[in-house]
Structure 1
Amino acid sequence: MSGEDRIHEQAAAWEIWRHEATDPCTKLPGETGDAADLLKVLLAEATTLLEKDASALLALRSGLTASSEPVSQLLEGLSAMGLDGLIMDERTAAQLPPPYRAERIGFLPGILSEPFCAHRLEVRKAVPQEVEAPARAVLWEKLQQRVDAQGDAFLRVSISGSAGAGKSHLIGALAAWLASRGMEVARVSCLPTDVPGTFAAWRALLGQWGGDDLTAAIAATGAALTLDETLVKNLVRFLSEPVHAETDDSGLSPLQYKDILPEFIAGVLARLVAGRPCAGIIDDIQWMDEGSHGVTEALEHAGVPMLLVLGRRGQPVPEDIVLGPMSVEEHRKLLAELSGHAEITDALNDEIHRVSGGLPLISREVYSVLSQRRRLIAMGGTLDLAPAPASAESAHETPLTGRFRDLSPRLRSLLGACAIWREPFTKEQAETTAKACSPGIEFETCWSSPLLGEFIVATPALPGRFSFYHDLLREAALSLMPDRDRAAGHGAALEWMMERPLRDLSPAEAAFHARESGRDDVAVELFDRAARAALGRFALREAREAARAALDLDRVSEHTGDPVAIAQRARRYQIEGEAAFHWGMVEDAVGLLEKALVLYRVSPEKGVFPIKGAMLLRHLWLFATGKPWADATVSPVREGAARTALMLAEIAYFQNDQKRSADCCVTALDLASKNGESAMLASLCAAIACPMSGKRPRWLAERYRNIARRMIARVGDRTEQTYIEHVGCLVDLDKTRWPEAAERAAGNVAYWKSHGHGRRVEEAATHAFFVDYFRGDLGRAAEWSGVLQESAFKRTDRQSRTWAAMMGSLHALATLGTKEAEAHCRKVPVHGGDAITQSSIHVMRAMCAWRSGNPWQAMDCLRDAEDLAGQHPPVSSTQFLLADAAVLLGEMRSWGPPELEADPMFGGLVERFMKRATAFSKSFSLGGAILHCARGLHAPGGGKEFIAAENAAQRLGADFLKARARCYHALKSPASAQLQDGLTLLEKCGATAEAAFFQQLASRHDRLP
């Protein structure tokens, strides 16, 4: 569509209506083929009508935002003529660009055949006016002070409170205040049933700020990050086009939803708001998905110069502005705002405050009830409470339900039918449920009632859709419905949804209606579909809740021998377990995944993974031929079981339970081998890493990788090929094929980075870092450390940040010094990541403390490291610090205070970490150099050990370890070695701070033997 065609279509969508006191609502004429001429016609008609009758009202309606080009032209034209009188619904009024203002004038029936609260445009008041402070004066002042202190940095302001506490009202006042200060304000709300919920709020904000420039901004951000062209196209589709509920046409993988989208959305926002004073408001973030919370963290880390206001219902978090019940004086001001009276008597104020508990929403409803029941007396500018009639209302009636009981039965039935819908609904949806709940209802008559507009409002940014202005009102309307009518309404809602095209169906919402209408069998199927779709886009909370709902409703598979039903139940446990694992609930995940394997009939009971003879035969066939079992047939049941076993293997691997990890790997590989060639690749990746634990023969890893390479050549999957090489870097590190490992790791970093897989980037960069660190190219290692920092600290994963901090600290300690290394350690909390990762950074903290002259603090850090590591041995070369702690203790024994060695805790730590160093040397070749250095430092005369360490490092090409061994040898046996040789080699490696440390040790003559 050309630009001119688009302008004409937008302008033609606008209509101006006349609504005079004596005439019915009619549309003004205006048909022309030219967009600019159409606006002229509309303005001319408006001028004629308003000059004829200054009290006439003009109604404006459109599916566009009020800041779009045709609207801006219309507003400018009205302003130039100095004409007021244009009315609009609250959706349009809320989006008016500064300096235009709109005044709320109340509910008008009949206009546009829809109920809405009208706002009158005030174009003569073009000069921004001071926004009237809401009733909560103290909180309002605190909010303004916090915003005023923003400057040019990113600022997040969170407002929380219980339902009905006035959070949205305060946020609305803030939005008006920000707009009056010239800020560009975009406001959205999260829904409990966003379809789909993943990043829904941020996609809406991008649409409001980006407009027609959004696609270009997304593409430019992708180009700046050197992302793959196909990935950029998928990101454009996901972020700028409508996303459908079940059909995932975004092209993004689950890992890409997790790894790239938070950082990428933050980058697009930074590009859009550059040079623009912008404020984003997101209300009801208690419904926000996990990925959207990650965007907030990414914006904060990137320091995007914008204001972000978040509204949360429920339990507050630190730094929230918390809305509690209103004080009596604040409540008096609220009543003055509601009534328009300057004075409110104590009797009226105290009575409503008592009934509402100081919650503004309830106070508003109580005020309306009292007004309708003629309990209010106006005397001049004062409003008072009239005596209660003899037949007082029921003591069990709540203010909200009392508000509905004052309505006619048919209007109450219509509101109850509308309350069936949890999401914004159309007029058609309201009619569908209304006729199901009350077959004889006169829908059109009820729908045009002016009273309806006091409960239902037009939904901002969703043309043609309506919702209750607060969830508490919706719940109150629903609670008054008889059970039979409520079930009929949910049944009608389900039928209406099932008639929609598949791409428009929300399986989670349809499942909710099926369950509430008593159709459990349909609900189970729909919840199952919802869980699968949610997990596919990494909506973890939604996936887990849907899977749990399906399990709770499924009563058949628990008591039947039907293999299909049992496998379906196993799949639901698997989905819930995967979601729990990625959500950080590891123990829950293990229990759920074990239940799934029992139902899949892979394990006889939870936690048992037997290795049977038939499995070993199939493995022998695999090793001999490099191909899966000949009679392999694809089965979704085996695929699910293999995936479950693989995830348990991964969990056990990171928990350092090598035997269990190996058993799960064998189980997963066997299941995958019976399921076809392409299904095996993921299991092979885990199998490659499994022997690296030191509990299995080391040649298995090499054999697995070679088999996987041949499979990939036949399957032709580039992603799987990269992943095989990525995991296989561990084999190269173990065999000290460092040039090959460095080349593969560099290629893997480039591939994963271009495809948006942040965690994979960090793992590959870690492999590359250690190659260059060990072989003494610390300048190159600094580049990989930078990649780790850039990736991990833009993301929200605590374990990734901990790992990046450890690599940065390790490099800084050798090249820059102790202060720089400590700065990296301070970037992460004391507790974070898995046990081995966290224990490793405690070793780093110990090294920094020792080199800063605090040996006792170093002891405390090593004790914490040992407590965390427990009985878990280090499982890969990337965790060599747990072995290297034995070397640190040797330094402390040789050059620390004499009383240190007499401490019983010191001896215990030496014994335990020496065992770790010994075990590590058996698992990894480079461990030999570390173990020999440790023995030399702890022994009275360690010359031979240092020579052995130097020779081991020489064979490996580990120049950095060789230089350290040479320096230790010179310090401990000055007669047989020259310190300068070791220092020269350290300088060649770029380890200037390490060389300075050894020179410092050489100056401590009192501790030399």
Structure 2
Amino acid sequence: MRSRLIERDAETASLGRLLDRARGGHGELVVLEAAPGMGKSRLLWHVRDAALRDGWRSLDVRATPMSPTIEYGVLRDWFGPLAHRHRSGEHPFDGPGAALADLADGTARTLGDLAYGARWVLEDLCAERPLVLTIDDAQWLDEGSLQVLDLLAPALRQLSCVLAYTVRVGEEPTSPDSLARLREVSRVLHPGPLTVGGVALLLEHHRLDPAQADRIHTVTGGVPLFVGEVIAHGGEEVPDSLVGAITGRLRRLSVTAIDTASALAVLGEHGTTGAVAELAGLPPATVVQDLALLCTAQLAERSEGTHRLRHPLIGDAVLAALTATDASDLHARCADVLARRAAPRSVVAAHLCLTTPGDDPDTRERLTEEGRHALSSGEPAQARRFFDRALAEGPVTGGRGPAARERRRSARRPRRDRGRT
């Protein structure tokens, strides 16, 4: 079941007004600019579908990280299929328009010839009926395509035409200066995250319990892509479909971004730059750069000198990509880093609980101590977790170890007194 657009009334109204103006010959350029997962592509296809239902023509492009290797990719995708459906020299691919037919056939033409040819063809197409041009992920366009769009922008405003494109925040554009010039002459829309109410509406749309809205919103931060995937998988917090998407995005930021994000994921509220660098085994300068990239990409945020991942689901997805052995090793190193940095013993013990048991007396003692504390604080389930993990750390001779004594004491304590100080 395809989810309907939720909490996008402002954006759809703005796009509708642009279509209305373009019908009267006042063309517009509009960019949907936001972090990945905010529903930019859904809005792009919404404006395209609305135009098609009203009898418009549509020419569409979706860029990829490989697009910069294809010169004038936008012109090839928009006009190549049309040129091949016309006989050689047939209007509108005659005169200046022949440059686009040549490009489609592999013949190189100059930027000026291609821009003039594109204008020639667009004017002809718009004379027949209004035209909507779409580009998804324009940050990956090649330099030549962006230069052509820059040259075409004034002409598009005089045609029954809308150019709508999306740009991912946090992705380094192939040609930042050219993309910035195009943005300057475009209307900019910033779709944001869903509210708890919006998540509840989506749950109802999928015939699921809206009472889950608070939990899902907390986990996902209201990012529509995350919300949709969680709902599609019956409330599962880290669908496999998101693990690859998030780790792939991190790899595009830098070669070390996954290591930095993994360190942030386990450090939690203790994500100082020094602690992240020590845990990730990276130079501080590299970590500073990674943290800046993560914040720009809206994957992490900084508060009072520490960094953390913006949404729990991001951290869960990063850790889900690790093997059990790697995850255990990461938590063991995290416990060591935090212990040296005088973090609360309870925090250190919580990480030790997530490691593979060995035979370390200090680990056993830390876990036992935290078990005692949890027991005296009225948290028997938590105490059992620490005691069980302490016992797993190695054999306790004759059942005389501290963890064993605490477990026996807990077992002998009358039920009404358990959990009291």
- Normalized against structure 2, the TM-score is what? 0.49
**Bigger Rg, which one:** 1
Higher RCO by CA contacts (8 Å cutoff, separation 6 or greater):
2
